[in-house]
A and B are shown apart, each in its own frame.
Chain A
């Protein structure tokens, strides 16, 4: 399958979900997973769709399969936020294991904060490269509030002060 067909199929999955045709969306996701079995994004979508299924399939997947898909997605991309969020909700709502759910949500927060810090540092560097010190300082202020003890952010602070 080429990239264009893959994107089209993915858009179709989202559209089927919006129309509440969860079984059709699930079957399409299974086809896509044959092409990309280690796609964390597809594994998360599969897990979400499984939970929404009614008894309309001849060989219905189990809730355990949804949980396993999420765990697999998390092991493939431990730094990714979505598998952590979905594992968090699964533990919290489906398994009623709130303490386990909390762990995953905390991990999702850590991953999100790392991503946010990297995004802010990248912006500051770009503004500095463009000689726009005002914008660089504006973003830096935000970074220092959110990440007061971060070495990368402090290095940029001193660099901008010079």
Chain B
């Protein structure tokens, strides 16, 4: 895959998930992680990024879990 195509794919993924709630982006199994906070599960990915950038440690952990779930679902 060319660099431009890879970048396009990445942007598409971000656009696809940015408005989705965390609960819909993390598998049931990853929800068992200590990094999952159920009171943040209704928060969108985009909002979690904002919160994480402002220094919220729980949002930072949730963001990492979402990105891990995306990474794992892209390639086995």
Within the complex, the shortest CB–CB distance from B72 to chain A, in Å, comes to 5
Shortest C-beta distance, A36 to chain B (Å), equals 17
Residues of A within 8 A of B21 (CB): none
| B-contacting 9-mer, from A86-94, A109-117, A136-144 | A86-94
Query: Across the interface, which residues of A come within 8 angstroms of B71, CB to CB?
Result: 89
Q: Are B29 and A45 in contact, CB atoms less than 8 angstroms apart?
A: no
CB-based contact B67/A93 at 8 Å: yes
Interfacial chain A residues near B4, Cβ < 8 Å: none
Secondary structure at chain A's binding surface: helix, strand, loop or mixed? helix
**Is B72's CB under 8 angstroms from A51's CB?**
yes
Residues 44-76 of chain B: 1 if any A CB is under 8 Å from the residue's CB, otherwise 0?
000000000000000001001101110111001
A54 and B29 contact, CB distance less than 8 A:
yes
B65: chain A residues within 8 A (beta carbon):
93-94
Looking at the complex, which one of A20, A89, A95 makes contact with B33 (CB distance below 8 Å)?
Answer: A95
Number of interface residues of B (CB under 8 A): 18
CA distance A81 to B32 in the complex (A): 27
For B76, give the chain A residue with the smallest CB separation.
A17
Please report the number of residue pairs spanning A and B whose Cβ atoms sit closer than 8 angstroms. Answer: 58
Distance to closest chain B CB from A113 (angstroms)? 22
In the complex, the answer to whether A93 meets B29 with C-beta atoms within 8 Å is no
A96 and B35: CB pair below 8 A? yes
- A residues near B76, Cβ cutoff 8 Å: 13-14, 17, 25, 45, 48-49
Alpha-carbon separation in the docked complex, A48 to B35 (Å): 17
B27 contacts partner chain A, Cβ-Cβ < 8 Å: yes
- Report if A52-B64 is in contact (Cβ < 8 Å); known contacts: A60-B29, A94-B33: no
Residues of A within 8 A of B1 (CB): none
CA distance A95 to B27 in the complex (A): 15
Binding site for A on B (CB under 8 A): 27-30, 32-35, 61, 64-65, 67-69, 71-73, 76
